[in-house]
Amino acid sequence: MSIAVVVHAAGDLRLDPVPEPRPGPRDAVVAVEYGGICGSDLSYLRHGASGLSILRDPLVLGHEVAGHIEALGEAVTGFDVGQRVAVHPATVCGHCRHCTQGRPNLCESVRYLGSAASWPHTQGAFSARTVVPADQLRAVPEGVSTRLAAVAEPLGVAIHAVKRAGDVRGRTVLVNGAGPIGALVVAAARRAGAARVIAADLAPASLGVAERMGAHETVDLAGGAALPEADVVFEASGAPGAVSAVLRSVRRGGTVVQVGNLPAGDIAVSLGALVFREVDYRGTFRFVDEIATALAYLAEGLDVGPLLTHEFAAEDAAEAFRVAGDRRTGSSKVLLRF
């Protein structure tokens, strides 16, 4: 039996035995080595839900993972047993209008590892061994460890968010919210050619991570500082009150990309600036295949080391989730080691 990290209800996280997986003809069994704890994982544990996805049954968490191939189905080609891989967490239909128009991240019947968006839930990958369709494997380049490759999924989210903003070359970029995704947006914006990247947050430790990830300057909002003006703003905090603030801080004719997940239901937002300053306000959701771009960036030397503040054995998952969910610990990306 394998051991998996399973949420049963809000506040109820367990290490459960699960059957040893067997690959179907087009599947692979991946021996997971590292997994990153995401905000959605934390939300399932805190609230029994992540946005509109409501927990109805026990759910194996985890979608940010890397490891090596332990077994392959008989129809799989292009991969070898023992090969190091990261996992694209999305299974898409391939034929809806979004899939056929190059936006499979919006697939109408997508299933995502570790998600309660559909029922039965899509079990995640926080397990010693997990089965995934082989076409969702991404080879880890030489010189990139599986520890770093576990960050490819959230880095792909950040790269996609920056692409949603359009061309940021030579522009001033503000990232509001310097948690793990915000810090990765800082790195992705720098990589995309932004001339000046500013990170804003309430937590000094998070601002320190953002600075080490490439922010030219930081703004400590806990001290009462206002958001500075910028050409492009990435709202990565997910705080409802931040939406009005970023719409006021972006320059006339600028772009705001909503990266942070906002809570379900109505929120109060001042939208006057959207019209009178002709602001583009855009959403961004997961990624298409920017996980492959993320792995290439890692191979080319993009340093995500500052993001990896804590690491725990999978058997200590409860403590890992406590640290990841408490900003007073100074945590950014917390890894589980399998």
Q: What residue ranges do the domains of the chain occupy?
A: 2-151+304-337, 158-283
- Distance from the first to the final alpha carbon of the chain: 14
CA–CA distance, 268 with 102 (Å, rounded to integer): 33
Question: 103 near 161, Cβ under 8 Å?
Answer: no
User: Quick one: pLDDT at residue 159?
Assistant: 98
- pLDDT per residue of the chain (338 residues) written in tens, 0 to 9: 789 999 999 999 999 999 999 999 999 999 999 999 999 999 999 999 998 899 999 999 999 999 999 999 999 999 999 999 999 999 999 999 999 999 999 999 999 999 999 999 999 999 999 999 999 999 999 999 999 999 999 999 999 999 999 999 999 999 999 999 999 999 999 999 999 999 999 999 999 999 999 999 999 999 889 999 999 999 999 989 999 999 999 999 999 999 998 877 788 888 888 898 899 999 999 999 999 999 999 999 999 999 999 999 999 999 999 999 998 999 999 999 99
Same fold? 2-151+304-337, 158-283: no
CA–CA distance, 164 with 92 (Å, rounded to integer): 21
User: Quick one: pLDDT at residue 265?
Assistant: 77
CA–CA distance, 220 with 199 (Å, rounded to integer): 9
CA–CA distance, 89 with 122 (Å, rounded to integer): 10
User: Quick one: pLDDT at residue 216?
Assistant: 98
Confidence (pTM): 0.95
Cβ-based neighbour number of residue 104 at 10 Å: 20
CA–CA distance, 5 with 127 (Å, rounded to integer): 6
CATH among 3.40.50.2000, 3.40.50.720, 3.30.70.380, 3.40.50.300 for 158-283: 3.40.50.720
Q: Which CATH superfamily is domain 2-151+304-337 in?
A: Medium-chain alcohol dehydrogenases, catalytic domain (3.90.180.10)
CA–CA distance, 334 with 317 (Å, rounded to integer): 10
B/e letters for 175-201, b = 16+ CB within 10 Å, e = fewer, are bbbbbbbbbbbbbbbbbbebebbbbbb
Of residues 189, 199, 244, 239, the one with CA closest to residue 221: 199
